[in-house]
Amino acid sequence: DQQVKQNSPSLSVQEGRISILNCDYTNSMFDYFLWYKKYPAEGPTFLISISSIKDKNEDGRFTVFLNKSAKHLSLHIVPSQPGDSAVYFCAASADDYKLSFGAGTTVTVRA
């Protein structure tokens, strides 16, 4: 059962514009949410996270928004840069050790 869903397999954005990635989840027990970035032939690397007690977390160009009532989170990247081209995974945790991942969104930033 897919508890974390990323319904957009791909996103293409112009350099300098905003990238918005979306993620939905079904498990009400999830209390911690993360975004990972993955380049080809490398493992996922942690990007940004948010606890369920918050609705926004910002780190430089990256902002994650959480809407618990809608079971929805999003990642905003502003401004998008060519180096942001990668696969982005949304992940969620209901405990302190196991992550449930979405299927990923491939972001392409056009020059």
Partner 1 sequence: DTGVSQDPRHKITKRGQNVTFRCDPISEHNRLYWYRQTLGQGPEFLTYFQNEAQLEKSRLLSDRFSAERPKGSFSTLEIQRTEQGDSAMYLCASSLGGQPDGYTFGSGTRLTVV
Out of 24, 64, 89, 109, which residue is the one contacting partner 1 (CB under 8 A)? 89
CB of 82 to partner 1, least distance (A): 22
In the bound state with partner 1, the residue whose beta carbon lies nearer, of 13 and 92, is 92
Cis peptide bond N-terminal to 79, omega within 30: yes
Residues 6+ apart with CB under 8 A from 38: 44, 45, 86, 87, 88, 89, 104
Q: How far, rounded to the nearest angstrom, does the alpha carbon of residue 40 sit from its chain's CA centroid?
A: 17
SS3 39: coil
Is residue 30 at the binding interface for partner 1, with CB under 8 A as the rule? no
Is residue 103 at the binding interface for partner 1, with CB under 8 A as the rule? yes
Residues in touch with partner 1 (CB under 8 A): 4, 6, 9, 32, 34, 41-46, 49, 89, 91, 93, 95-104
